[in-house]
Amino acid sequence: QVKKVSNELGISINIGYGMPQKYNIISPDPTTRKEGIKFSKKLINLSNEAGAVVFGGVIYCSWGYITGKMRTEDEWKWGVEAFREIAQFAKDTSNLILGIEPTNRFESHFINIAKDAVHFIKDVDLDNVYVLLDTFHMIREEDNIYQATKDVGKYLGYIHACENQRGIPGTGLIPWKEFFIALKEVNYNGCITIESFDPNMVNIAKLCSIWRKLADSPEQLAIQGLDFLKKKYGEILNN
């Protein structure tokens, strides 16, 4: 049904996923890691059936899993080994791009910055794995959004264009001009998506700590945000 409707509307389907803790592929428990690999493969099959192009997010460890310490060499090894199996399965069974999204320190201790995502991808060493940059997380973790984007370079596969408060793009603190200049300089021509959340969607709002309205309506956020992004990126591309 999703595939049928997306084809009728002429839009692409991109799947966002945050791995539950019972499927944590960096867990010290090998059974948990095994179950995480199995469940990720199931989601890849479902994404493929839906006609999705991208399967991305916190797909390399459990979303919200924080040990209270810096990540360990064992966690890195477990994550790379497990994700390599997941990515190889996706490569063998679909045309999906897998997006590794660095997330902020309050949501994970494992991959917080772009250069670590690139490091992870290089260790996995499969050509269907890319970086998913999210400006909401970048403004919290990167020293310089322009340079971080440049450093990702050819590994950039998808973008969440989000304000620092998850509101309408252009109303917050994200340095959009510098970000879009970097995208132009790395010749990025992939998808740019606004990711935001409606406080009326109680479950996801709770998970993402959305405690207030970010726009008068979801439609306003989408329409005004898209208009801003198109105009701002257009200014950069045409210079």
Q: For residue 126, what pLDDT is reported?
A: 99
Which residue ranges in the chain fall short of pLDDT 50?
none
Q: How would you write the chain as a 3-class SS string?
A: CHHHHHHHHCCCEEEEEEECHHHCCCCCCHHHHHHHHHHHHHHHHHHHHCCEEEEEEEEEEECCCCCCCCCCHHHHHHHHHHHHHHHHHHHHHCCCEEEECCCCCCCCCCCCCHHHHHHHHHHHCCCCEEEEEEHHHHHHHCCCHHHHHHHHHHHEEEEECCCCCCCCCCCCCCCHHHHHHHHHHCCCCCCEECCCCCCCCHHHHHHCCCCCCCCCCHHHHHHHHHHHHHHHHHHHHCC
Complete domains list, the chain, with CATH: 2-237 (3.20.20.150)
Q: For residue 155, what pLDDT is reported?
A: 99
Q: For residue 1, what pLDDT is reported?
A: 86
pTM of the model: 0.96
